[in-house]
Structure 1
Amino acid sequence: MSGRVSHPIVDTTRGDGRVACLTFDDGPDPTDTPRLLDVLRRHRVSAVFCLVGDQVDAHPEIVRRIVADGHTLGNHSMHHDDMGNWTPERIAADLRETDAAIRRAVPDARIGYFRAPYGSWGQSPAVAASLGLRSLGWRLAITDWEPPGTDELVRRLLDGVTPGAVVLLHDGGGDRSQTVDAVDRVIPLLRADHWRFTLPERPR
């Protein structure tokens, strides 16, 4: 991407001090997302789920559970395409289609954020803003799509998290069992070190 982004991409959390936000992309997945929701409920952590429209249409009941559990929704495009070179009109059509898919699952869903697939933003931040969506980036990505093993993911999370960080994780797009297991282990470790979990900061 070239040029300056004219609309803010949020990558920090609300609140001060040792706070972090967990965000999950590419779901919902029929196996790993329910397990992750169990983990988050057990630890009483709210997160952001950036949903792919195709997956929403395939698994609407999981989207309903995400909302029922009190988590925040994000638009992650309809088919997880690279939008970096798309026109604003094409981006807007895709985002609207994805929002419509989410609202077929949850008619009154509040969709607060948009995250560009692959972090390839192009002109999407301005388009997202025109549709009432806040563009959501991240401060820490642990590359859990590799996947490198649960122990390594735990290490990357503990070593990489910084105060105010939005953390990029995945609950879909492949076998994410290592991510779910790592989150289950990391939350109590961070809490014991006086970390709190919150939502992303709103852009000014």
Structure 2
Amino acid sequence: MTSRRTRLRLLAVPLAVGALLSGAAPALAGGTGAGPGQGGPATADVVTTTRLGGQVAALTFDDGPNPHDTPRLLEVLAENDVKAVFCLWGDVVRQNPDLVRQIVAAGHTLCNHTMHHEDLATWTPEAVRADLEATSALIREVAPGAPIPYFRAPYGSWGQSAQVAADLGMQPLGWTVTIEDWETQDADVLTERLESRIRANPGAVVLLHDGPVMDRSGTVEAVARAIPELRAEGWRFHKPDRRG
């Protein structure tokens, strides 16, 4: 990956973006209509919660798949019977088609994360649409028929992409909680952040990473430790809301 992308990742502000645009949009080919969350067609509102009450959270993983860490992550999720959302980077999908198929076969949900992981802040709607359509086409080339109900903008920099994604039937997906796993891969630190921040934010969409920009073994270990602890306290894991 280029040094520019790495710098942008390190400089990204780890905050939920909130709603940028309003109004319902028709669900078209990109997201196959009403999705697997709490119901309704895609809108241009950036969803950041599960819209469920009580001790519930949604785990989402960006920038993958990664042949070094995603297989172990899939094992951890399977061992704990947790389904997650994987936000796939097109360039990486092209390099790891078998891993995409493994994600789909395990019953996880896919999210379009653009082809080249670029900042979309100043892109025209036409350019955004071309990129998102190409990314979805690539994902479906390696995993035919797989629904792609969500879209997440790289770095949380939406520009006009939220409306474009909704027009394509994909719900823009933000987050409430992040553990800054681009700053450290110390499993002890990440586990504490993951557990404490989920506890403090019931219903949260949690941003994590399994992409190949850096080692992600600490993130995977944090997930492996945190899920049983939270489950013992009564926490459940669910998909994000389908609409804003």
Fold shared, TM-score > 0.5 on shorter chain: yes
* Change over 3 Å in CA distance of 1:107–1:160 after alignment to 2: same
Match of 2:112 in 1: 75
Match of 1:85 in 2: 122
1:155 aligns with 2:171: no
CA displacement at 1:15 relative to structure 2: 2.7
1:96 to 109, 133, 136: 133
Q: Deviations over 1:123-156 (max 9, x none)?
A: 0000000111000000001110112511110111
1:5 to 18, 21, 26: 21
Match of 1:203 in 2: 243
In the alignment, residue 196 of structure 1 is paired with which amino acid? R
Match of 1:127 in 2: 164
Tell me the percent identity. 59
| Cα distance in 2, alignment partners of residues 36 and 62 from structure 1 | 11
Q: What are the within-5 Å matches in structure 2 for residues 23-62 of structure 1?
A: 23-62=60-99
Q: Is the 8 A contact 2:185 2:219 kept in 1?
A: no
Match of 1:143 in 2: 180
Q: Is the 8 A contact 1:92 1:127 kept in 2?
A: yes
1:176 aligns with 2:216: yes
Match of 2:36 in 1: none
- Give the secondary-structure state (helix, strand or coil) at the position aligned to 2:208: strand
* Change over 3 Å in CA distance of 1:104–1:47 after alignment to 2: same
CA displacement at 1:31 relative to structure 2: 1.1
Q: Is the 8 A contact 1:76 1:115 kept in 2?
A: yes
1:106 aligns with 2:122: no
Match of 2:34 in 1: none
- Give the secondary-structure state (helix, strand or coil) at the position aligned to 1:187: helix
Q: Deviations over 1:20-55 (max 9, x none)?
A: 000000001111111100100011000000000011
**Structure 1 unmatched runs, 5+:** none
Q: Is the 8 A contact 1:140 1:166 kept in 2?
A: yes
Q: Paired residues, what number?
A: 203
Match of 1:167 in 2: 206
| Cα distance in 2, alignment partners of residues 63 and 118 from structure 1 | 22
| Cα distance in 2, alignment partners of residues 4 and 141 from structure 1 | 20
User: Which has more strand, going by share of residues?
Assistant: 1
Match of 2:230 in 1: 190
**Structure 2 unmatched runs, 5+:** 1-16, 23-43
In the alignment, residue 192 of structure 1 is paired with which amino acid? A
In the alignment, residue 236 of structure 2 is paired with which amino acid? R
CA displacement at 1:5 relative to structure 2: 2.5
TM-score, length-scaled by structure 2: 0.81
- Give the secondary-structure state (helix, strand or coil) at the position aligned to 1:50: strand
In the alignment, residue 171 of structure 1 is paired with which amino acid? D
Match of 2:38 in 1: none
Q: Is the 8 A contact 1:142 1:153 kept in 2?
A: yes
Q: Tell me the C-alpha RMSD between the 2 structures.
A: 1.4
* Change over 3 Å in CA distance of 1:4–1:166 after alignment to 2: closer
| Cα distance in 2, alignment partners of residues 10 and 131 from structure 1 | 16
| Cα distance in 2, alignment partners of residues 75 and 141 from structure 1 | 19
| Cα distance in 2, alignment partners of residues 90 and 174 from structure 1 | 28
